Amino acid sequence: MASKRLGEILMEKGIITNDQLNEALQVQSSKGGLLGIILVEMGYLKPKMLANFLETQKYS
């Protein structure tokens, strides 16, 4: 079973919008980098929230 991508899960949980995800993916495509970090840098996600989310993902 394929796991969902970070952006998809954040959208499903209502943490980011589809527009925010698309904007972050455009930045990632042009500049590279990790999506979670890009979302934090854009102000769409708080660093603590990203850390908590990634920790939860690690054990699910």
Tens digit of each residue's pLDDT (9 = 90 or more) over 4-50 = 788 988 999 999 999 999 999 999 999 999 999 999 999 999 999 99
CA atoms within 13 A on the CB side of 2: 4
Top-confidence residue, 15 or 2:
15
Tell me whether residue 39 is exposed, middle or buried, using C-beta atoms within 10 angstroms of its C-beta: 0 to 12, 13 to 18, 19 or more. Answer: buried
What pLDDT is stored for residue 1 in this prediction?
A: 41
Q: Tell me the two tokens of residue 46.
A: 């708080």
Top-confidence residue, 33 or 56:
33
Q: Tell me the two tokens of residue 9.
A: 């899960």
What pLDDT is stored for residue 60 in this prediction?
A: 61
What pLDDT is stored for residue 37 in this prediction?
A: 97
Do residues 16 and 7 make contact, with C-beta atoms less than 8 angstroms apart?
Answer: yes
Say what the pTM is.
Answer: 0.86
Chain center to CA of 30: 17
Say whether 34 sits in a helix, a strand or coil: coil
